[in-house]
A and B are shown apart, each in its own frame.
Chain A
């Protein structure tokens, strides 16, 4: 099992009731509420709170925290003057969310950022059509750094699938898994995904399928659809003692290579030793070269989780099976790519995609839903 990132699994949960009547309370949005719970439960270890300026500068310039630990995505709390309501550095504020989450924050630093620089460094572009860039440009003007403490957990959907790092670590240990490979996803599985996972699993003890649940784009598959589809696939086609399905509540940033590192670090904290990086990992549109997320791992000899690189799998008529370009010499008309777009279109029309594309059971599970996509 991997050691947590930074050496120690962070636990900033101190559950207690608190009287918020005379307190300085700020309501945060769903993304920030998820960040808070992820920090508190150690998913973002070694972070204990939202980044202060020196860490942010270091993350932007060097892809590392100020203490040299690899870290690529800024975890920031942005507020406006009104929300801050006169709170100063050294003060304690309470951050709450409509799902019931309550947390406490010690304000260490209040500062401003150059949004253009942040966008350029994190996303490699300042094009506002990039969803991460537009999120950055829409941030409020004050950035608040400091340690948080989670006082009360918020209610979350699908919590029967929600495991925290301290839980997966015990789970992997109890299962006797020493080497665990993690698979990040935001889609229901087609045959290509299954081959990637099983190829990786062949060389380790266990597979950790970890879909991202959270804010999505219109047209994305709904979370319940993805979960049910995976349950069906695992029940029918995976050895039950070799695969675990559990969710991760955090939003996509679409930061491509930098986000691939972030995705790997989170899975290291769950105890995984290996992380699958596919084509255009965490990419969007044509903003990143298809294998940029492979290249970036070379910069981190000290990441502490091994990337497992895959190129796309496809069906080859000549080979008579599912292969990839490393093991099959055929191209052109001999091969059928797993097109997520084509599969989506068929499902949308109520059709079961061919078995070379998607398992029949998985397709039927998806087709049972009245609403498959985020509207």
Chain B
């Protein structure tokens, strides 16, 4: 288990001065460590960079078939 957990983390380097600033910043917040804060911020940042959209391509026929069903069920006019 512990070996497995070690594999799940990696070390990154940030300037010590920045680390100190962050440590001060997270005092009294819900973040228990510098690492958990940096992880949070990076996850947030990456997610914010994702574009909107369907993330899939349907063919014209597939789309028409779906619209037909939606009309038949009364969801679309």
Contact = CB atoms under 8 A, between A and B. Distances in A.
Do these two chains interact? yes
Contacts of A186: none
A167 B64 CA distance: 11
B52 A1 contact: yes
B73 to A, nearest CB: 6
Contacts of B73: 160-161
Contacts of A160: 73
Contacts of B51: 3
A246 B75 CA distance: 10
Interface string B36-77: 000011011011001111111010000100110110010110
Contacts of B63: 170
Nearest to B62: A166
A59 B44 CA distance: 19
Interface of B: 4, 8, 30, 40-41, 43-44, 46-47, 50-56, 58, 63, 66-67, 69-70, 73, 75-76
A4 B54 CA distance: 7
Interface string A1-29: 11110011101000000000000000000
B50 A304 contact: yes
A304 B41 CA distance: 14
Contact residues on A (Cβ < 8 Å of other chain), bracket: 20 to 34
Given A298-B30, A301-B47, A11 B56 contact: yes
Interface in A58-86: 58, 68
Nearest to A57: B4
A163 B53 contact: no
A347 interface: no
B19 to A, nearest CB: 20
Contacts of A11: 56
Nearest to B40: A301
A302 interface: yes
B28 to A, nearest CB: 15
Contact of B43 (A4, A161, A301): A301
A167 B30 contact: no
A302 B39 CA distance: 11
13 contacts: A1-B53, A3-B54, A8-B55, A9-B56, A160-B73, A169-B54, A170-B67, A170-B70, A171-B70, A174-B70, A298-B30, A301-B40, A302-B47
Interface in A158-193: 160-161, 163, 166-167, 169-171, 174-175
A166 B47 contact: no
B53 to A, nearest CB: 6
A304 B40 CA distance: 14
A174 B67 contact: yes
Contact of A3 (B43, B52, B75, B76): B52
Contact of A304 (B30, B47, B54): B47
A7 B55 contact: yes
Contacts of A161: 73
Contacts of A1: 52-54
Contacts of A367: none
A335 B60 CA distance: 55
Contacts of B4: 57
Nearest to B76: A174
Contact of A170 (B30, B44, B52, B66): B66
Given A301-B44, A301-B47, A167 B55 contact: no
Contact of B56 (A8, A163, A301, A302): A8
